[in-house]
Amino acid sequence: MPNLAGKVALVTGCASGIGAATVRRFIADGAKVLGTDLDEARGSALCAEVGAMFTVQDVSDRAAWPAIVAKAVAAFGRLDILVNNAGMVSGAGIGDLDDEAMFAAWDQVLAVNLTGTMAGCRAAIAAMRENPGGPKGAIVNIASTTAIAPLPTDVGYSASKGAVRVLSKSVATWCAKAGLDIRCNTVIPGATQTGMIADAERRIPGLIAAVAKTSPLNRLADPSETAAAIAFLASDECPFMTGAEMLVDGGALSIHPGF
């Protein structure tokens, strides 16, 4: 089990799903955690339950990011880990909406999923450079299998998650070239049992069963399974991994779609 004892982590989108599972896993592994989310009720309840701090955050607010990171540093003295997990879907293919609605949906999903992730990386690196003992840290960005096999029904989500993959590589190599012991890796989850897919199931009965069949394991992931991969990348167990991608997709991208 990865040992995060003494580590300080910031996890966005902590109120549910993969974010909540990550906060639980990090606390169990000995980390001190600041969880953030727009959903104050559920986010604060989760953090209070497990012994983490909580603050409200809109990750798309670029200007607020340094202050969010500063809260973790002020509370715990350093920042070792950032998990950029917060995200949203646009729910629209390229021709599904009129121009005004299409570009509004596009702008919003990219502001959260991509610009928010970049702003988080930038603020975290600034804090990690000042860590006692020297620059050191681990950033884990959450993408999606749609970054590799995009959805025709969600151009904004697919494009933003594809961009997160490349953003992570750019961040990783910039830090390495700058001589900073700050790693940046990507986790690529497949279909996961989260509130987002549960909401979609209410709109589209049978969706979960259909999505489960996209994996050879014929099921959705539990969020804790993705959290385990995040914890590994956040730990000191993999010091030579940076700019890498870890698939947690139940083999969905390993099989020909006809089989």
- Which CATH number covers residue 33? 3.40.50.720
User: Which residue spans within 134-207 are E strands per DSSP?
Assistant: 136-142, 181-189
Of 12, 89, 157, 185, which one is the catalytic site residue? Answer: 157
pLDDT digits (tens, 9 = 90+) for 197-240: 877 778 778 888 888 988 999 999 999 999 999 999 999 999 99
Q: Domain range holding 174?
A: 8-192+222-251
pLDDT digits (tens, 9 = 90+) for 27-40: 999 999 999 999 99
Query: Is 84 contained in some domain?
Result: yes
Is 16 in a helix, a strand, or coil?
A: coil
Query: Is 176 contained in some domain?
Result: yes
Whether residue 1 is predicted with pLDDT greater than 70 in this model: the reply is no
Is 53 in a helix, a strand, or coil?
A: strand
15 is catalytic: no
What six digits make up the tokens of 144?
Answer: 């999606």
Query: Is 98 contained in some domain?
Result: yes
Is 245 in a helix, a strand, or coil?
A: strand
Is 28 in a helix, a strand, or coil?
A: helix
Whether residue 74 is predicted with pLDDT greater than 90 in this model: the reply is yes
What six digits make up the tokens of 16?
Answer: 């549910």
pTM for the full predicted model = 0.96
Number of domains making up the chain: 1
